[in-house]
Amino acid sequence: MTNALARALGWAAAAAIIAGALALRLPRLDRRPMHGDEANQAVRTGLLLDQGFYHYDPADHHGPTLYFAAWPFCRATAHSFAETTEWNYRLVPVVFSLFTLLLMLGLGSHASGYGLFANRAGLYSAALLTAVSPAMTYYSRFFIQESMLLTFLTGMLLCAVRYVATRNTPPATRNRKPSSRTWFWAAGFGAFAGLAAATKETAVLSFAAAAVALAAACGFSRLRRAWCTRDALVAVGAAALVAVLFYSSFFTYPRGVYDALFSTFQTYHTRATAVPEHQHPWNFYFKIIFWFKYGRGPVWSEAGLLLPAALAVGLSLLPVRQQGASGDETRTRRRWVRFLSVYTLALTALYSAIPYKTPWCALSFLHGFVLLAGAGVGACWTACSRTDAKQTATAFAPLRLCGKLLVVLCVAALAWRHAAQACRACFKMPVDPRNPYVYAHTGSDAMNLVSEIERAARQAEGNDTLIALAVPTPDTWPLPWYLRKYRNVGYWTRVADIPAELQPTVVVAAADQGDAADERFGRGKRASFFGIRPGVLLNLFVPEK
């Protein structure tokens, strides 16, 4: 096969993977009700849209990159928060999930041979399994930080792989000084690290796992020999500059940097240990990703990743017998697999040990399993391509061809199974509790509540209708999103807190505030109950028809 044909097939494979990813991510983005966390993030973006600035709040929000990234998507079709739709926000994680795939395509065999994957088969298998992963697909349609965080972590890995490849490439091959290009990849690594830190505070867990994995894969003596102070300073400087840029709202709010450094730890320490409704056993993520079945519902599993991943890990522990450049390339690649192995296991252990758990947090370490699975597929492909010097190449050609065909069929079967689960999760059961990725999600009954409010508002003053909510703050979500077009909406935690002079047309009260709301506002109004999400009931009082 000529190089031109190989490149053409590679571009065709990459285009097919991107197209498949879009086919799973783009359709019906606005059909699923807004999750409470999505609504919370959208309202924060709305403040940026309407007020023109954003200030980092460490108490109940993550890093600011999501809001700034959403700004152009919203401004493209809307002039204010009230005019935005689900598409404006959910396109953001869709686009970043595609960026992740594009970055992954750079993890393949570098021109020098020092890439992460031994061949294109491993690279495209990893990209394909990322594109069709049911967990990654489902949450890439969520307006939350996880898809962006995964993009930036992948960018860090890409820059690290290219940095090592550049360092290992002989100067004669590059026609440059030994380290003339390393600063570029060091700066890229730092920039992606800064973006990850400014996206979600849990990025520090990935940084910690990466540090442990680097020491385990390379050893301290090799790291000392490879240390370059200039490149380290470039990486740290780029990371600090990018993080400060976002946390300070582009140098307009210095307090944001202080809060990110000194106020965040206590907030997330409290959240990780003292929020009982989100505390789960250590195996919570394993059940969701590798085997889940609720009642008579279907089985969900991405356990098929484990076998090729284990193969890659096992091969990375074997000694390398080749000498010369090919041996150096193999040793470097195996160190990367060992790095990914320790990183994935360490990150999985960290997330599993923290009592506070939400299923979307699993994406960071799930991607590690996907990359390892791709490396395992690449190893199988290499084994099927190797010729025995003692025999003629044609003698084993049919056997090698059958081996490659088997590898292709296994990857295709695994991808097909994952894609079927992704379709089921996104389009058939997007809010069904039998879907493992559905977590504290807004139920369909909440949309009935919204419809009743809209009907009452149309019969009253339209968007100027006075609406009062007496609901504890966590239970109001996602109503602030669905009430964004109404100009006279008030939020209180108890009915007694609503000012006496107010006579709202529509009243929404928590279940334990129903009697107080009925006594004060119930005359001439019809009362009804709605379940906004599992375990949360709200009372609605609207004028009689």
Task: Please tell me whether residues 371 and 475 are part of one structural domain.
Answer: no
**Nearest alpha carbon to residue 35 among 173, 134, 138:** 138
Task: Please tell me whether residues 413 and 451 are part of one structural domain.
Answer: no
Residue 390 has pLDDT above 60, yes or no: no
pLDDT digits (tens, 9 = 90+) for 289-316: 999 999 888 999 999 999 999 999 998 8
What pLDDT does residue 6 have?
Answer: 73
Task: Please tell me whether residues 369 and 220 are part of one structural domain.
Answer: yes
The C-alpha R_g of the chain, in whole angstroms, comes to 26
pLDDT digits (tens, 9 = 90+) for 266-280: 766 666 665 677 789
What pLDDT does residue 315 have?
Answer: 87
Task: Please tell me whether residues 383 and 467 are part of one structural domain.
Answer: no
Give the span between the Cα atoms of 469 and 541, in whole angstroms.
Answer: 10
Task: Please tell me whether residues 333 and 392 are part of one structural domain.
Answer: yes
C-alpha distances (whole Å) from 397 to each of 69, 126, 385, 386, 394 are 51, 26, 9, 10, 5
**Does a structural domain hold residue 479?**
yes
The residue among 385, 400, 428 that closes a domain is 428
What pLDDT does residue 534 have?
Answer: 85
C-alpha distances (whole Å) from 509 to each of 430, 446, 462, 473 are 27, 14, 21, 12
pLDDT digits (tens, 9 = 90+) for 181-191: 889 999 999 99
**Does a structural domain hold residue 325?**
yes
9 against 15, higher pLDDT:
15
pLDDT digits (tens, 9 = 90+) for 31-50: 999 999 999 999 999 999 99
Task: Please tell me whether residues 316 and 357 are part of one structural domain.
Answer: yes
The total number of structural domains that make up the chain: 2
Q: Do the strands 506-510 and 488-492 form a parallel or antiparallel pair, or are they unpaired?
A: unpaired
The residue among 399, 428, 457 that closes a domain is 428
What residues make up the domain containing 499?
Answer: 444-543
Task: Please tell me whether residues 415 and 450 are part of one structural domain.
Answer: no
**Nearest alpha carbon to residue 335 among 493, 437, 219, 414:** 219
Percent of the residues in the chain that have a pLDDT greater than 90, as a whole number = 69
The residue among 404, 428, 452 that closes a domain is 428
Task: Please tell me whether residues 81 and 226 are part of one structural domain.
Answer: yes
| 8-state DSSP, 509 | E
Residue 164 has pLDDT above 80, yes or no: yes
**Does a structural domain hold residue 337?**
yes
C-alpha distances (whole Å) from 284 to each of 139, 309, 312, 436, 448 are 17, 21, 25, 11, 32
**Does a structural domain hold residue 437?**
no
What pLDDT does residue 393 have?
Answer: 53
**Does a structural domain hold residue 74?**
yes
State the alpha helices, DSSP H only, in 322-462. 324-353, 363-385, 397-423, 444-459
Task: Please tell me whether residues 361 and 460 are part of one structural domain.
Answer: no
Q: How confident is the model at residue 64 (pLDDT cuts 50, 70, 90)?
A: very high
What pLDDT does residue 323 have?
Answer: 59
Task: Please tell me whether residues 380 and 499 are part of one structural domain.
Answer: no
Residue 109 has pLDDT above 80, yes or no: no
Give the span between the Cα atoms of 213 and 297, in whole angstroms.
Answer: 38
Q: Rounded mean pLDDT of 468-496?
A: 94
Lowest mean pLDDT among 153-157, 325-329, 500-504: 325-329
Q: Rounded mean pLDDT of 83-95?
A: 96
pLDDT digits (tens, 9 = 90+) for 313-344: 998 887 776 655 666 778 888 899 999 999 99
534 and 443 in contact (C-beta within 8 Å)?
yes
Residue 391 has pLDDT above 80, yes or no: no
Residue 388 has pLDDT above 60, yes or no: no
Task: Please tell me whether residues 37 and 169 are part of one structural domain.
Answer: yes
What pLDDT does residue 178 have?
Answer: 47
Q: What is the mean pLDDT of the chain?
A: 89
Task: Please tell me whether residues 424 and 489 are part of one structural domain.
Answer: no
**Does a structural domain hold residue 435?**
no
For residue 469, how many other CB atoms are within 10 A of its CB? 22
Q: How confident is the model at residue 416 (pLDDT cuts 50, 70, 90)?
A: very high
What pLDDT does residue 324 have?
Answer: 57
Q: Rounded mean pLDDT of 492-511?
A: 93
**Does a structural domain hold residue 306?**
yes
What pLDDT does residue 328 have?
Answer: 73
270's CB contacts (< 8 A; 6+ apart) are none
E-state strands within 11-125 = none
In degrees rounded to 5, what are phi and psi of residue 542?
A: -130, 155
Q: How confident is the model at residue 261 (pLDDT cuts 50, 70, 90)?
A: confident
The pTM of the full predicted model, rounded to 2 decimals, is: 0.93
**Does a structural domain hold residue 33?**
yes
For residue 227, how many other CB atoms are within 10 A of its CB? 9
